[in-house]
């Protein structure tokens, strides 16, 4: 009869049992680090005039990340107008009224026009992706970071 015994088997079992927690912790840290890096990329490479003109900086300031689960994160903004820039589309007809002055003044066909309100017919907005394009461009780096975290968790 051949018999095998693992000496220190409790330690081996405990070590094997710790792998999921170790991997999860490292992957979570990698996901968060990549979400921070992706947010910075969007702000620096897309929202500083490269894809959209930077007029007030509000979209750039309000683009952030959030951890949305143990192993997932989201990068985006809650600004209403961000979606039409990201996907393109048609704005609805609307009225533009003077709020901080008695009238609106603008140039049209070389003439200065002064009106209390204007009936805007709506605009066709082209797609100017700043979020999806950033994710596509960062995909390989993000996957490599997550794979490295898993390998480290299993190895460690």
Answer whether residue 124 shows pLDDT above 90.
Answer: yes
pTM of the model: 0.78
Which CA distances in Å does 100 have to 57, 97, 105? 21, 9, 12
Answer whether residue 152 shows pLDDT above 90.
Answer: yes
- Mean pLDDT within 14-38: 87
- pLDDT, tens only, 45-97: 999 999 988 889 999 999 999 999 888 999 999 999 999 999 999 999 999 99
Residue 142 neighbours by CB under 8 Å, 6+ apart? 34, 38
- Mean pLDDT within 128-137: 96
Look at residues 60, 57, 58 and name the one whose alpha carbon lies nearest to residue 130: 60
Given a contact cutoff of 8 angstroms between Cβ atoms, the answer to whether 147 and 59 are in contact is no
Reported in sequence order, the residue ranges of the chain that DSSP labels E, i.e. its strands, are 64-69, 72-76, 89-90, 94-97, 104-108, 111-115, 117-120, 124-125
Cα–Cα distance between 117 and 148 in angstroms, integer?
58
Mean pLDDT score of the chain: 90
Domain boundaries, given as residue ranges, for the chain: 9-86+127-155, 89-125
């Amino acid at each position: 009869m051949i018999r095998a015994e693992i000496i220190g088997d409790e330690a081996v079992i405990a070590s094997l049992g710790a792998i999921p927690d170790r991997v999860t912790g490292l992957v979570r840290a990698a996901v968060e680090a990549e979400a921070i890096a992706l947010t910075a990329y969007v702000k620096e490479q897309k929202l500083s005039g490269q894809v959209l003109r930077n007029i007030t900086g509000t979209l750039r300031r309000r683009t952030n990340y959030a951890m949305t689960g143990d192993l997932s994160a989201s990068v985006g903004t809650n600004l209403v107008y961000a979606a039409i820039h990201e996907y393109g589309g048609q704005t609805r007809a609307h009225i533009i009224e003077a709020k901080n002055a008695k009238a609106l003044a603008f140039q049209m066909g070389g003439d200065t026009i002064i009106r209390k309100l204007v009936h805007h017919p709506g605009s066709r907005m082209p797609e100017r992706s700043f979020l999806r394009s950033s994710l596509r461009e960062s995909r390989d780096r993000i996957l490599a970071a997550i794979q490295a975290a898993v390998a480290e968790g299993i190895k460690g």
